[in-house]
Amino acid sequence: MKFAFVVHPLSEESKALWQMDDGGQLLSHWENGNLLEICDYVQSSVAEGIAFGGRATKGPIVLDHFSKLETVTGHVAEGRVYEIPCSPKNILEDPATAIEHTQAAVQMAADWGAGIVGLGSLTSVVGGHGQYVADNSPIPVTTGNSLTVYAALKNLHHACGELDIDLSQETVTVIGIPGSIATAVARMLRAKVGKMLMVARRPSQRASRIASDLDSELLFDIPTALAQSRLILSATSSGNCIAQEMLQTGSVVIDVGVPADVTRATRRRDNVLVVSGGLVDVPRSFLGKSMLLSFHFGLVPGCLAETINLALEDRTESFSLGRDLSVERIGEIGAIATKHGFSFSQLSSFGRPVADSLWASMNKVVGRHYSEALDDELASYDTVETDGKDRSNGLTERVAKEVRQETNGQISNGHAATATEKKSNQKRNTRQQNEDKQRKNRRARTLFQRYINPVLVNLAEQGGLNKTFVRAQDTVVTDAEENHYLDFVSGFGSVNLGHNHPRVVQAVREALDDGAPGFSPAAINPHAAALAERLVSIAPAGLEMVFFCNSGTESVESALKLARVATGRSGIVYCHGSYHGKSLGALSVTGNRSYQKPFHPLLPDCHPIPYGDLEVLERTLAARNMAAFIVEPIQGEGGMILPPAGYLSEAERLCRQTGTLLIADEVQTGMGRTGTLFASEQAAIEPDIMTVAKSLSGGLVPIGAMLARRDLWMKAYGTVERFALHTSTFGGGSLACVAGLAAIETLVDERLAENAANRGFQILEGLNKLRRELPEYFQDIRGQGLMIGVELSPLAESVVAHLKRTDSTEMLQYMMQGVDAMIASFPAVFQMQILLEHYHIYTQVARSNPLVLRIQPPLTIDSSKADHFLHSFSRTCRLGQKVENIFDEVITRSISGQHAANRTAEMRQETPQTSSPPVTASGMEIDEQFSQ
């Protein structure tokens, strides 16, 4: 159905902005969709959506058009925005003229064929809240206020949810009584909040009645109310009545006022949250369907959204008229909007989505406010209880008593709980715990993005690769939506035993029950001692001393330091493409310039050489001044790269010959991954120093270890002055060591290294068969045991060129360095995505080598799961190849089509013709062809 919406320019500022749009430049940018330019151009003046309108002069004009809007339910609507030539000031000073203009606009809408008309902003306030206009209108009318109320309440709940504010404990102020929106909000909110204050501009019978009906205090001055509460919902029609300085720290204001009630401050406060309330996020499919819709990050006022929803529903009846909005209708329109895909959780503040930084700082102040309140509560509680005795002990005793009571199944009023009470308490607690867990899982993505790594979340978001794994057992990980995935990443080799191996879990549980001290640095820890003995027993010969730490990078640090002290030399040789960790020392020997460069200067005297090149190694060691050569038996992060046969043993010989220590970094290759307990065994080397971590504790507790020859350790640390030169508080902690011991026993007893060799052979064989079938799709397939890499062929150059050309505004390039790398990683990311979404197999792309898909399942994988992987992967590869071929073909054809067309055009220029010029192929045409 067709709809119309009547607006007025919101302020003088908006007029200025449109005048600024000299020659319609702003509009033309809009049509080109160059958002960056638009944002630049309008950001400073546009805040709060005030920039819309201001063009009508004598009578109503059509300001904007909504082309066909279609929602997920298949409902459609089409609309127009009419602007009347009255500013807010004019409307309030001369409502009669404003009503006349509004009526004229309504008539224009009716003539155009609109089935309903919505009254925006103040046009809905004058004339009895739409009633007068409706009574004299040829078509139904709505003020749209019901959905505004609904949205404002949703906004408030959302903000409170984000900030963990319990409304039922709060005093909420509603400003703008007895206005229709404020009154409806107060009515719907009253039962949910602790206390309510209301603010009216002046005393009136209606305001007093509302306040007394809702058991609320009525005030006539805003500052007094703001001093008493931090949650404020403001909906006046006068605007600009709250200065930000008046707000207490931690205040949350849902500002539904038009114009806005909270004035802009020159310096934005980061300890108050002012939300432009009553806004609604339109369905994505609407974006671009009108200037207004594209304008405000997809947010539109509730009144417009209500009008659109009524039109989508073909409702030819007036709605939301008069001062008393119906609570039922508010609920009804909210449900309709939700059904059509409108949402209310995108909060906006002064014209921009609420930034993560603001949420973070607000969370801090609100959290502090709450802990202060809690402290106060506890303190008073304590004083009463202890009656002047030691406060802290009194409190502890009281809490302890409560805990005792609770664990004995007593309920708080002191009487012994009956069996039924106990049961229902238990049920309630379990339900509560489950709800809390689900809530935490739902919020995890937002919090991870806000507090841990926004880029990682955003990048993964693009490919639907964001998963919140909440449980895992053996080879299967489960996400928050209870989808199960076969884990072919294994925490990059940290869960060789499979997730939560029962033997390791049991060992940790027993240690917890035993009450062993978690950490006792400088004392003798029996668990560390036992693990060291066991580790030495399985390590390559000669490695007899163990230093425990907490990660791979720390084990590398320990190795580098030991090598320097033991040899008295400083030089370290390392390989291109290597990965040894990201702490400064380990980074200095990690052969990836993009990781190193931002942190220069790094450790001096570190020398990169090509992996697998014995000649260069020999030359580099010849001067006999290098302390160590650090090397991975197989490069994992570098893209699962195996060295040439015999490389490691020859490198060992060269090291021995030149007094250089050989450090084997087995952080990833160790603990059975490559088919033997350590990869050094297969390479037949005996390193002087070896690093391990990742799976050492079965993937449950962080641990790392450096193993070294006894003589080296003694030389470095074997004196009273030196024995404590290199230590770590947490290294060798009880739980980590208990888990480590259980992990080694499991690895050995269950012959997991052998299984890795067998399953690795099976997978490699299957992959090689696939490669023979799709030779062009693969560059290489390699691996040892279950450390396998599939290197895909790069995209055809024509495709890469096309992808870059699609970014015609270079917006992507501008926003993201590394867009080239993203395009390059397309084949592997495509595989990863399809495997994940369609076959529920979780893999990863090697970060240092974006064409390589890492195949690294837990070593417990059985042959049917390996087959399942092969079967799924063969399908995803066939699909991948098909997609790339189509891509290539379409592009090549369109490019040659373009050349042909250009040639024809040139010929035509030479011999002028009257017919229309040929149409050259455009990006859009290519996309169309592709979608066909």
Query: How far apart are the C-alpha atoms of 5 and 79, rounded to whole Å?
Result: 8
Task: Report, in Å, the least distance between residue 756 CB and ligand PMP.
Answer: 16
CB of 543 to ligand PMP, least distance (A): 17
Q: d(Cα 272, Cα 265) in Å, to the nearest integer?
A: 12
Strand, helix or coil at 536?
helix
Which range of residues in 184-192, 421-429, 546-554, 804-812 is near ligand PMP by CB under 6 A? 546-554
How far apart (Å, rounded) are the C-alpha atoms in residues 117 and 766? 65
Q: Which is nearer to ligand PMP, 181 or 631 (CB)?
A: 631
Angle at 132 between CA 315 and CA 328, to 5 degrees: 45
Q: How far is the C-alpha of 434 from the C-alpha of 452, rounded, in Å? A: 25
Nearest approach, Cβ of 654 to ligand PMP (angstroms)? 21
**Any idea which residue has 């009716």 for tokens?**
110
The least CB distance from residue 695 to ligand PMP, in Å, is 11
# binding residues, ligand PMP (CB under 6 A): 15
Task: Report the nearest approach of ligand PMP to the CB of residue 690 (Å).
Answer: 11
CA distance 275 to 295: 17
The one segment of 161-169, 323-331, 664-672, 850-858 that binds ligand PMP by CB under 6 A: 664-672
665 binds ligand PMP (CB under 6 A): yes
* Residue 560 C-beta: closest distance to ligand PMP, Å: 12
The smaller minimum CB distance to ligand PMP, of residues 78 and 637, is found at 637
Report CA torsion sign: 441, 442, 448, 454.
Answer: positive
How does DSSP classify residue 914? Answer: S
Q: Which is nearer to ligand PMP, 160 or 573 (CB)?
A: 573
Query: Rg (Cα) of the chain, in Å, rounded?
Result: 35
Query: Which residue number, 278 or 672, has a Cβ lying nearer to ligand PMP?
Result: 672
What does DSSP say about strands 116-119 and 141-142: parallel, antiparallel, or unpaired? parallel
Contact 761, 866 (CB under 8 A): no
**Contact flag: residue 848 with ligand PMP (CB under 6 A):** no
Nearer to ligand PMP, 309 or 553 (CB): 553
Binders in 744-773 for ligand PMP, by CB under 6 A: none
Binding span for ligand PMP by CB under 6 A among 369-377, 378-386, 631-639, 655-663: 631-639
* Closest separation in Å from C-beta 579 to ligand PMP: 5
Sign of CA dihedral 694, 698, 700, 706: negative
What is the C-alpha to C-alpha distance for residues 704 and 689, in angstroms, rounded to an integer? 14
Distance in Å, CB of 632 to ligand PMP, minimum: 5
Is there a contact between 804 and 663 (Cβ–Cβ < 8 Å)? no
Among 130, 144, 581, 732, binds ligand PMP (CB under 6 A): 581
- Please state the closest distance from residue 675 (CB atom) to ligand PMP, in A: 17
Residue 693 near ligand PMP by CB under 6 A: yes
Q: Does residue 548 bind ligand PMP (CB under 6 A)?
A: no
Residue 552 engages ligand PMP in binding (rule: CB under 6 A)? yes
Q: How far is the CB of 514 from ligand PMP (least distance, A)?
A: 28
Tell me the C-alpha distance between 735 and 528, whole Å.
9
> CA dist 742 to 139, 525, 549, 695, 858, Å?
78, 16, 18, 11, 17
Comparing CB distances to ligand PMP, the nearer of 250 and 740 is 740
Closer to ligand PMP by Cβ: residue 229 or 843: 843
DSSP, collapsed to helix, strand or coil, labels residue 57 as coil
Give the H/E segment covering residue 521: none
Q: Minimal distance in Å, beta carbon 118 to ligand PMP? A: 57
Q: Which of 236, 304, 260, 297 is nearest to 63 (CA)?
A: 304
User: Measured from the CB atom, is 527 or 673 closer to ligand PMP?
Assistant: 673
Q: Minimum distance from CB of 161 to ligand PMP (Å)?
A: 35
Can residue 551 be called a binding residue for ligand PMP (CB under 6 A)?
yes
Q: What is the dihedral of CA 67, 72, 73, 77, to 10 degrees?
A: -10
**Which position among 556, 606, 701, 846 is part of the footprint of ligand PMP (CB under 6 A)?**
556
Site for ligand PMP contains 580 (CB under 6 A): yes
202 phi and psi, to 5 degrees?
-145, 160
Binding ligand PMP by CB under 6 A: which of 286, 319, 492, 830? 492
Torsion of CA 11, 14, 19, 24, to 10 degrees: -140
Give the separation between CA 175 and CA 236, rounded to whole angstroms.
Answer: 7
Residues 77 and 38 sit within 8 Å (Cβ to Cβ): no
667 binds ligand PMP (CB under 6 A): yes
Smallest distance from the beta carbon of 704 to ligand PMP, in angstroms?
A: 6
Among 148, 475, 553, 697, binds ligand PMP (CB under 6 A): 553
- Select from 64, 637, 652, 791 the one that contacts ligand PMP (CB under 6 A): 637
- The residues with which 576 forms a beta bridge, in sequence order, are 591
Which residue is it, tokens 């004339």? Answer: 127
Q: Is 638 an interacting residue with respect to ligand PMP (CB under 6 A)? A: no
146 touching ligand PMP, by CB under 6 A: no
Cβ of residue 587: shortest distance to ligand PMP, in angstroms? 10
Q: Is 375 exposed, middle or buried (0-12, 13-18, 19+ CB in 10 A)?
A: exposed
The residues near 414 (Cβ < 8 Å, ≥ 6 apart) are 405
Q: Pick the stretch among 254-262, 349-357, 629-637, 916-924 that binds ligand PMP (CB under 6 A).
A: 629-637
- Sheet containing strand 704-709, strands side by side: 543-549, 704-709, 689-692, 661-665, 626-631, 571-575, 606-609
The tokens of 874 are what?
């063969």
636 is a contact residue toward ligand PMP (CB under 6 A): yes
Task: Give me 457's structure tokens.
Answer: 């979340």
The answer to whether residues 471 and 461 touch, using CB atoms and an 8 Å cutoff, is: no
Q: How far is the CB of 702 from ligand PMP (least distance, A)?
A: 8
Q: Does residue 661 interact with ligand PMP by CB under 6 A?
A: no
Residues 6+ apart with CB under 8 A from 18: 51, 53, 54, 55
Whole-angstrom CA distances from 241 to 173, 182, 222, 260 are 14, 15, 8, 9
Both tokens of residue 649?
Answer: 């043993």
Tell me how far, at minimum, the Cβ of 689 lies from ligand PMP, in Å.
13
Residue 632 touches ligand PMP, criterion: CB under 6 A: yes
CB of 842 to ligand PMP, least distance (A): 17
Nearer to ligand PMP, 365 or 696 (CB): 696
Q: Between 118 and 585, whose beta carbon lies closer to ligand PMP? A: 585
Comparing CB distances to ligand PMP, the nearer of 133 and 787 is: 787
Question: Residue 227: is it exposed, middle or buried by C-beta count within 10 angstroms (0-12/13-18/19+)?
Answer: exposed
Nearest to 352 by CA among 295, 301, 305: 295
Choice between 349 and 669, CB closer to ligand PMP: 669
The reply to whether 786 sits near ligand PMP by the rule CB under 6 A is no
Q: Per-residue string for binding with ligand PMP, 13-42, x by CB under 6 A?
A: ------------------------------
Nearer to ligand PMP, 4 or 556 (CB): 556
Instruction: Please enumerate in sequence order all residues whose Cβ is within 8 A of that of 876, keeping only pairs 6 or more positions apart, or say none.
Output: 831, 834, 835, 838, 839
| Distance in Å, CB of 249 to ligand PMP, minimum | 40
Report which residue's Cβ sits closest to ligand PMP: 552
Q: Verify binding: residue 579, ligand PMP, rule CB under 6 A.
A: yes
Contact range with ligand PMP by CB under 6 A, out of 87-95, 351-359, 578-586, 768-776: 578-586
Look at residues 384, 408, 480 and name the one whose alpha carbon lies nearest to residue 439.
480
334 versus 552: smaller Cβ distance to ligand PMP: 552
Q: Which residues are near ligand PMP by CB under 6 A?
A: 492, 551-553, 556, 579-581, 632, 636-637, 665, 667-668, 693
